[in-house]
Amino acid sequence: MRTKRITWIVTCILLLLGVGFLVFGALNGEAEGVFRKAVTICMECIGLG
């Protein structure tokens, strides 16, 4: 029972952390960085250096 509660608390903390990071990053304009990288052909990814 105690282990279950601890697991549940860790889950909630991690979820808050994840959503917090995601929102903070989005507000900070990081999605634009991802966008810029994702719309140009990634030479490294396709094996052209």
Partner 1 sequence: MGKYLRRIIQIVWGILSNAHLTGFFRGSLYDGPLKRFCVPGMNCYSCPGALGACPIGALSSVLAGRNRKFPFYVLGFLITVGVLVGRFICGWLCLFGLIEELLYKIPTPKLRIPEKADRVLRWLKYLVLAVLVVGLPLFYRDETGTGLPFFCEFLCPVGTLEGGIPLVLLNDVLRPTLGWLFRWKFLILVLCVLSSIFIYRPFCKYLCPLGAFYSLFQRFSLVRLRVDTETCIGCGACSRACGMNVDPHRTPNSAECIRCGECTRVCPKNALSFSVAGKTPAKKIRKESDSSEDKKI
The distance of closest approach from Cβ of residue 1 to partner 1 in the complex, given in angstroms and rounded to an integer, is 12
> Where along the sequence are the contacts to partner 1 (CB under 8 A)?
7-8, 10-11, 14-15, 17-26, 28, 30-35, 37-42, 44-49
CA angle centred on 19, ends 15 and 36, rounded to 5°:
140
The distance of closest approach from Cβ of residue 48 to partner 1 in the complex, given in angstroms and rounded to an integer, is 5
Nearer to partner 1, 2 or 37 (CB): 37
User: Measuring CA to CA, which residue among 9, 11, 13 is closest to residue 21?
Assistant: 13
Q: Are 37 and 43 in contact (CB under 8 A)?
A: no
